[in-house]
Amino acid sequence: MTIPVIVDIRNDGKGYLEINSHDGQKKPPYKLTSIAYDVINDDLAGDKVDWSHAGSGHEMPTGFYLHVGPGDSTQMVGVLYSIVPKDHRTPLRIQVQDVEGRKYLTNSFLPCISD
C-alpha cells in the first residue's frame, strides 16, 4: 500500500528555505522529491533509521525548488511505499532537508488509513 503524507512547513527563520520539489505544480501540497526527505521510525534510536519512501529508488535532483520565505508556510506531500497492516502501529516522522542541508522533523504519526 502507498500512503501520501502531507507535511506542513513553516519558515520561522530569517532566510529562505529552498526544498527540492517537482515542477508543474500550481498550488499546495507540493510534491517532495525522494531526496528531500527521509522517513524515520520513531521507535528506534538514532536519526537515520530510514523507511522505504523512494519507490523504485532515489531520484536525482530535479533542478526545481520550492522557496518558502520568512514567516511563510506551505504544505508538501511525501509518499510512504510498501506499507502493510503490521506497519500501522509504527510511529514515524518525516525529516525534510533543505538545499543547505538543514533538517526539519515532523511530529510523530502512525501510517494508517481509514476506509
72 pLDDT more than 90:
yes
Assessment of whether the complete model's pTM goes beyond 0.75? yes
Q: Which residue has the higher pLDDT, 94 or 81?
A: 94
Which residue bears the cell 499546495? 28
91-109 residue pLDDT tens: 888 888 888 888 888 888 8
Does residue 65 have a pLDDT over 80?
yes
The dotted CATH code for 3-105 is 2.60.40
Pseudo-torsion of CA 86, 3, 40, 93, nearest 10°? -110
Domain ranges of the chain: 3-105
Q: What is the pLDDT of residues 12-49, one digit of tens each?
A: 989 999 998 887 678 899 988 888 888 888 776 555 44
For residue 110, what is its C-alpha cell? Answer: 502512525
